[in-house]
Amino acid sequence: MLSVQGVLSIGELLAEGLDAKLFWHNLQQIPLYGSSIMLLGVIMFYMRVDGKIRNRCLLVLTAVAAVYWILLFTDSHHHLIRRDVWIEPYGNFERIGASRMPLGWVFFLSMHTLALWGMALLVGHYRRVVGGQKRQLILLIIAVLCPYLLPELAKLMGGHLNISTSLLPAALIFFYIMHIQQFLQVRPLAREKVLEHMSEGILIADERDRIIDANPTARLIGGMSAKGKLVGAQLSDLFAGQPDLKSLLETGEQGSVETDIAGKWFEVRLIPLRIRDERTGSLLIFADITDRKLAERELFRRATTDGLTGLSNRHHFFEQLNESSRDCRLTGKPISLMVIDLDHFKSINDRFGHITGDSLLRSFAAMLREAVEPFGTAGRIGGEEFAVFCPGAGGEAAFRLAEEIRTRAVREPLRLAESGESVAYSVSIGVAELSGADMTIESLYAAADNCLYASKQGGRNRTTLAMGNV
């Protein structure tokens, strides 16, 4: 359309007589105003302005332009657009000169306002694009400025160039961008649509780590959206409370990290954006892995926890004991182990049933956890057999804690909710301290288990401390 306008301006210069030149001059106004509207539409489309808003805006502008064109071609009858028309010299040619009426000035200024509005949108969008898109935007801005700059440059050089003729270079630039640079072609638009519909959150930052774009998913991530507008924010400010993410950003290299953001787990991947080995920005991809993390935690819980009592199971208990014993030996601190067995548990099962037996195990486990949590770790290592290790506690300190557990078991029988009946029970305990460099966890457990056997042999409901620890 810009090329057509330029050709029509040549027709005006070659025409003979006022009426013929005026006809060609009026024809130029159709592509001149139409191109401004089309350019604004292209820019709004590129800027992802909502389709309904864009279409309504263009429809109103086109209607206004149509009114102008009608008034222009009928101006000889009402003179609402031009006050006077004449022929004036233009280099070796002649062209139409005119003085405008107020309404003519309104339409004239509106055309330039549209062009400047489009240019302002492009300039504002410049910081949000990278690579080849930056070059495309620069060329678009130059094309918009051509009708304003080229006539002035021609004057400085002693020549003449009207706005219509200066639109020809703008048309060539638009042709280059659209067809050679593939501006608004399917591939870049498809990429943009993919980003908009991705389930992963996407942040694009410039070389100064300022966010220039964010897809809808990223805007819904609680910890980030709660801090206000994403675009324009600094990544360092956004991740001020995320040391893992800050460390990843500081490396500037491709990598990933798993982190908790506002109660949800995300795998965050950093991909540096480079052009000819020069870093031009960063791409951050946020994949929600909360479900996977919850599943992993549940699998870990099932693998390490006794399903009935919620205490550590045998395997996990002895893993913790091994790790804690290594730490205590390195620091020179003592560590003790107690092995606990519920007395006559089979008789309780036979008399009250297995459901009551399970309730008793849960009740004792809850009391045991409460009693030892500040000092040690409890676990269920057999049917009615429990164990506790106490880092930092010697044999005598562990013995005193074991006695507290034993006496509480006697004082706090299980009460049956259905019948109100109390189920009295007692426990026998063996205690041993890890001593000597040659003593292993297996021998420590054997020593505590032997003391447990001694407690049972001694009449049950008692605690026995290994002889070497007395």
Lowest mean pLDDT among 54-58, 341-345, 393-397: 54-58
Note the pLDDT of residue 210: 86
pLDDT of 446 strictly over 90: yes
For residue 97, what are its two tokens? 């000169």
In a domain, 331, yes or no: yes
| Spatial separation of the C-alpha atoms in residues 396 and 432, rounded to whole Å | 9
Q: Compute the average pLDDT of residues 185-191.
A: 49
Instruction: Name the residue with higher pLDDT: 135 or 297.
Output: 297
For residue 428, what are its two tokens? 């026998």
Identify the domain boundary among 131, 152, 184: 184
How many CB atoms lie under 10 A from the CB of residue 173?
Answer: 18
Shared domain check, 251 and 173: no
Shared domain check, 375 and 248: no
Shared domain check, 208 and 154: no
pTM, 2 dp: 0.53
pLDDT of 253 strictly over 90: no
Query: How does DSSP classify residue 210?
Result: B
pLDDT of 325 strictly over 60: yes
How many CB atoms lie under 10 A from the CB of residue 363?
Answer: 18
Instruction: Name the residue with higher pLDDT: 430 or 230.
Output: 430
In a domain, 298, yes or no: no
Task: Evaluate whether 161 touches 150 at the Cβ level (below 8 Å).
Answer: yes
In a domain, 180, yes or no: yes
Instruction: Count up the domains in the chain and report the number.
Output: 3
| Spatial separation of the C-alpha atoms in residues 434 and 395, rounded to whole Å | 8
**pLDDT-based confidence at residue 221 (cuts at 50, 70, 90):** confident
Shared domain check, 348 and 201: no
Note the pLDDT of residue 188: 52
Tens-digit pLDDT profile for residues 341-375: 999 999 999 999 999 999 999 999 999 999 998 88
Note the pLDDT of residue 128: 64
Instruction: Name the residue with higher pLDDT: 2 or 421.
Output: 421
Note the pLDDT of residue 165: 64
Shared domain check, 235 and 171: no
> Which amino acid would we find at residue 387?
A
Tens-digit pLDDT profile for residues 74-118: 988 888 989 898 888 877 788 888 888 999 888 888 877 887 787
pLDDT of 131 strictly over 80: no
Q: Compute the average pLDDT of residues 318-347.
A: 94
User: Per-residue DSSP letters for 107-166?
Assistant: HHHHHHHHHHHHHHHHHHHGGG--THHHHHHHHHHHHHHHHHHHHHHHHHTT----HHHH
Note the pLDDT of residue 191: 56
Tens-digit pLDDT profile for residues 289-322: 999 999 999 999 999 999 999 999 999 999 999 9
Q: What is the CA radius of gyration of the chain?
A: 42
**pLDDT-based confidence at residue 187 (cuts at 50, 70, 90):** very low
Note the pLDDT of residue 186: 43
Could you tell me the CA-to-CA distances from 438 to 194, 329, 468 in Å, in that order?
64, 12, 14
In a domain, 299, yes or no: no
Shared domain check, 152 and 173: yes
pLDDT of 202 strictly over 80: yes
Give me the percent of the chain exceeding a pLDDT of 70: 86
Instruction: Name the residue with higher pLDDT: 377 or 17.
Output: 377
pLDDT of 339 strictly over 60: yes
- List, as own/partner pairs, every contact residues 7-16 make where C-beta atoms lie below 8 angstroms and the sequence separation is at least 24, other chains included: 8/164, 9/162, 9/164, 9/165, 10/165, 12/95, 12/96, 12/164, 13/90, 13/93, 13/94, 13/95, 14/93
Residues in the chain: 470
In a domain, 190, yes or no: no
Shared domain check, 277 and 136: no
Shared domain check, 339 and 203: no
Q: For the chain, give the mean pLDDT.
A: 84
Q: Compute the average pLDDT of residues 320-346.
A: 94
| Spatial separation of the C-alpha atoms in residues 144 and 120, rounded to whole Å | 10
Identify the domain boundary among 184, 218, 250: 184
Shared domain check, 349 and 258: no
Task: Give the list of residues 6+ apart from residue 3 with CB closer than 8 angstroms, or none.
Answer: 168, 171
Q: Compute the average pLDDT of residues 223-230.
A: 62
Strands 335-342 and 414-415, sheet pairing: unpaired
Shared domain check, 232 and 146: no
For residue 273, what are its two tokens? 């954006």
| Spatial separation of the C-alpha atoms in residues 348 and 366, rounded to whole Å | 19
Note the pLDDT of residue 182: 53
Backbone angles phi, psi at 430, to 5 degrees: -120, 135
pLDDT of 386 strictly over 50: yes
Strands 335-342 and 264-275, sheet pairing: unpaired
In a domain, 189, yes or no: no
Tens-digit pLDDT profile for residues 204-216: 888 888 888 888 8
- Domain of residue 229 covers 195-292
Note the pLDDT of residue 246: 86
Shared domain check, 17 and 141: yes
Identify the domain boundary among 292, 319, 346: 292
CATH of the domain at 246: 3.30.450.20
Note the pLDDT of residue 8: 76
Shared domain check, 453 and 313: yes
Task: Evaluate whether 120 touches 137 at the Cβ level (below 8 Å).
Answer: no
In a domain, 12, yes or no: yes
Coil, helix or strand at residue 465: strand
In a domain, 98, yes or no: yes
CATH of the domain at 387: 3.30.70.270
Task: Evaluate whether 365 touches 311 at the Cβ level (below 8 Å).
Answer: yes
